[in-house]
Amino acid sequence: MEVDALTTVLIAAITLFLAYIQFNKSEPDVHPLVLQQQSTPTLIRNEGESVIYRSKFISHTAPLLKLPNESRINTLYDVWQAGRAIDPSAVSLTFLLQNQFYLVNNTYEQAERRISGFGSGFVSLTGLKPKTETPVGIMAPYSQESFIAQQAFYRYSFVAVPIHDLKNIDLLIEVVSQTKLKAIIVSQKALPSLLHVLKECPSVKTIIVAGIYISAEQIKLATHYGVKITKFSSLEYNGSLDPLEPIKPAPDDIAMINFNTKSNSLSKGVVLTHSNLVAAMAAFSASLPAGKKFTSKDRLLSHFSHGDVIAIWLSSAIILTGGSQIFPSGLMKNVLHEAQASMPTIFASAPITLEKIHQALQLTYGKGFLFNRAYAAKLALLRAGRITTTSLWDFVKLTEIRGKLGGKVRMMVTTNPTQQETLDYIRAALGIHVISTYGRTETSGLTCCSNIYDYSSAPTLGGPVGCNEIKLIDYVEGGYTSSDAPYPRGEILIRGPNVMKGYYKKPNATASVLDKDGWFHTSELGAFHDNGAIELLGKKKRTRVSSLSTTDSSLSSGSGQ
Ligand SMILES: *[C@@H]1O[C@H](CO)[C@@H](O)[C@H](O)[C@H]1NC(C)=O
Ligand SMILES: *[C@@H]1O[C@H](CO)[C@@H](O)[C@H](O)[C@H]1NC(C)=O
Ligand SMILES: *[C@@H]1O[C@H](CO)[C@@H](O)[C@H](O)[C@H]1NC(C)=O
Ligand SMILES: *[C@@H]1O[C@H](CO)[C@@H](O)[C@H](O)[C@H]1NC(C)=O
């Protein structure tokens, strides 16, 4: 007993001493000046608008960032091929067999065979012609199959239409009817709902089940409506016996139509081209500082469904480096177990998941004396601008907690807003860097991302990434103007190569958000702080969204493009 107490006191004394030394000897992770200039503003501005903000890496006379450094990469197909070429025998995909946390790996070469196999099997079964902008539904979120299918559609130039809200049957019917889907890939779980509404989806001729079992009854029901139903794995196998040559997309070909925009009415499909998505990927990669960039060693565990555009640029960014991706079950209760089993280095998820992780860890460890000492010390270090995993506090306690996420996570990527306590906890207790992003489906899911070294509690999300420029226009009815103090405020307008082509077959809806100078009017409000970082202030009231002409005819000049 006595020895234990003495040891504890000794350890505490030594730790405090070392922590004290560490606080005092070390510089912050980045020079404070970097955080004071998070974007480059133009010097001039038009009446009724803010200045135009760009990434601090892109001057106002240069074109916006459109492609990754290697300019032969123009499409998502090119991205996959570039990643595969780095080391075909490297692990590319890791699946967690559900409820068992048992890992299965595919190398890039194996994944390539599955992609060409599935794509070839798909073409021969459905008879659909590649390169004709044919939309194909994918109703199988979080699955390896939806990834393989998406890659196959890039390879053979089909258009992916992700449907990730499996409970929303009205949306399903709406999407099918708007895009005249002829084929749908569906998870085992979502199959009954799809079959249930098959009568209302007369365009559908083929259903491909990403699962192991189709009942006789289900086959009968499909057949009744003249629909072919088959297993994903049989297509993969059949196609691999006689694989087709790729039929590559052009940069301006449509890669996906995305109906999952929560901020919009259900019925609008956002049309995104390969160029759009490649630009977002390139801009995200460029925004990571040296030493923090993705590498071939990285393993991405993303909880974003493949219907979320963020999942596309994130997974593309990892593929481009030859790194690997882990496919989780997407169930909250499995999050920690799956991370432990698969040991990711990059962890991506919505704020709610991070908050739940924080709560769970806090519940287990939050009352411990040692934890609280350690956390206080690490929090003080964080306030001094430092994140570390090698302090004595980590050794004594925090490495154990870090292990609950597999022990290897070095970066988290999330959207916004995440509670400040959660961000502090992740950075201080777990020693993990966090990047918060802001994007709209209409901007390929990425427009701003926070500086990885910005640990402040300011409610800002960094400046625009390299593929965007942003300005704020006055929203007079709401009382938001570019001459507001202390910061200019207004409706956020975004322009750049990641901005959508338009809403699918909805020219009027498109015209109401995309003006003739290429600015996308978000209907969201923002403020630019003095350090060039944006703060989001909510949405404009939906009074009259129409008539851009009143605000827009004068917007063009001075943009620097
Ligand atoms: C871009 O490519 C050039 C030439 O290949 C290389 O020197 C440079 O380091 C690359 N830059 C980045 C950021 O990768
Ligand atoms: C899968 O790949 C990971 C990392 O590349 C490796 O640690 C693990 O042992 C592999 N698992 C299997 C079952 O091959
Ligand atoms: C696979 O090929 C066999 C033989 O050609 C054919 O009978 C079967 O219908 C094919 N299955 C699929 C799913 O295409
Ligand atoms: C679209 O706008 C045009 C011109 O303003 C109008 O004539 C047409 O009726 C509109 N179409 C729809 C579907 O609202």
Ligand 4 centroid vs 548 CA: distance in angstroms? 15
Rounded to an integer, the average pLDDT of 442-450 is 96
Give the per-residue pLDDT at 60: 85
Global pTM?
0.90
Give the per-residue pLDDT at 102: 81
The residue whose C-alpha atom lies closest to atom 12 belonging to ligand 3 is: 235
The residue whose C-alpha atom lies closest to atom 1 belonging to ligand 2 is: 105
121 CA closest ligand 3 atom index: 14
Q: What does the buried/exposed string (b/e) look like for 252-262 if buried means 16 or more CB atoms within 10 Å of the residue's CB? A: ebbbbbbbbbe
Give the per-residue pLDDT at 445: 95
Angle at 28 between CA 22 and CA 29, to 5 degrees: 110
- pLDDT one-digit tens code per residue, 35-81: 999 999 988 889 999 999 999 888 888 899 999 877 789 999 999 99
C-alpha–C-alpha distance, residues 72 and 85, integer Å: 13
Ligand 2 centroid vs 440 CA: distance in angstroms? 35
Region of 244 on the Ramachandran plot (φ > 0 left; ψ -120 to 50 alpha; else beta): beta
User: Is residue 121 within 8 Å of residue 361, measured between CB atoms?
Assistant: no
Level-2 CATH architecture, domain 34-63+349-555: Roll (2.30)
Annotated domain spans of the chain: 34-63+349-555, 104-281
Q: Which amino acid is at 77?
A: Y
Write the DSSP assignment of 77-120 as a string of letters: HHHHHHHHHH-TTSEEEEEEETTTTEEEEEEHHHHHHHHHHHHH
Give the per-residue pLDDT at 201: 95
In the chain, DSSP finds a helix count (H) and a strand count (E) of 19, 22
What ligand is nearest to the CA atom of residue 507? 4
Q: At 5, which helix (H) or strand (E)?
A: helix 2-25
230 CA closest ligand 3 atom index: 13
Give the per-residue pLDDT at 16: 66
Backbone angles phi, psi at 465, to 5 degrees: -75, 170
Give the per-residue pLDDT at 10: 74
The CATH number corresponding to 104-281 among 3.50.50.60, 3.40.1110.10, 3.40.50.12780, 3.40.50.1370 equals 3.40.50.12780
Give the per-residue pLDDT at 99: 63
What ligand is nearest to the CA atom of residue 341? 2
Give the per-residue pLDDT at 141: 82
Give the per-residue pLDDT at 20: 60
Q: How confident is the model at residue 545 (pLDDT cuts 50, 70, 90)?
A: very low
User: Is residue 15 within 8 Å of residue 396, measured between CB atoms?
Assistant: yes
- pLDDT one-digit tens code per residue, 305-361: 877 899 999 999 999 999 999 999 888 899 999 999 999 999 999 999 999 999 999
Pocket test of ligand 2: the residue of 105, 107, 144, 296 to mutate, having most ligand atoms within 8 Å of its CB, is 105
Ligand 1 centroid vs 69 CA: distance in angstroms? 6
- pLDDT one-digit tens code per residue, 465-495: 999 999 999 999 999 999 999 999 999 999 9
| 160 pocket-lining for ligand 3 (C-beta < 6 Å) | no
Selection from 65, 67, 38 nearest residue 53 by Cα: 38
Residue whose pair of structure tokens reads 């074109």 in the numeric block: 63
C-alpha–C-alpha distance, residues 496 and 480, integer Å: 24
The answer to whether residue 100 scores a pLDDT higher than 70 is: no
Ligand 4 centroid vs 507 CA: distance in angstroms? 8
Give the per-residue pLDDT at 262: 59
- pLDDT one-digit tens code per residue, 186-206: 999 999 999 999 999 999 999
Give the per-residue pLDDT at 557: 27
What ligand is nearest to the CA atom of residue 125? 3
| 238 pocket-lining for ligand 3 (C-beta < 6 Å) | yes
Identify the three-state secondary structure at position 60. Answer: coil
Selection from 531, 383, 382 nearest residue 460 by Cα: 531
Distances (CA, A) of 357 to 179, 349, 416, 556: 38, 11, 16, 46
235 CA closest ligand 3 atom index: 13
* Mean pLDDT value across the chain: 90
- Cis omega before residue 246 (within 30°)? no
363 Cβ contact partners less than 8 Å away, ≥ 6 residues apart: none
Give the per-residue pLDDT at 19: 62
231 CA closest ligand 3 atom index: 13
C-alpha–C-alpha distance, residues 328 and 68, integer Å: 28
Backbone angles phi, psi at 230, to 5 degrees: -150, 170
The answer to whether residue 266 scores a pLDDT higher than 80 is: no
Write the DSSP assignment of 297-339 as a string of letters: T-EEEE-S-TTSHHHHHHHHHHHHTT-EEEE----GGGHHHHH
| 497 pocket-lining for ligand 3 (C-beta < 6 Å) | no
Ligand 3 centroid vs 238 CA: distance in angstroms? 6
- Tokens representing 124? 């021969």
Identify the three-state secondary structure at position 455. Answer: coil
C-alpha–C-alpha distance, residues 71 and 429, integer Å: 40
Selection from 231, 364, 287, 225 nearest residue 68 by Cα: 287
Beta bridge partners of 107: 91
| 193 pocket-lining for ligand 3 (C-beta < 6 Å) | no
Pocket of ligand 2 (CB under 6 A): 91, 94, 103, 105
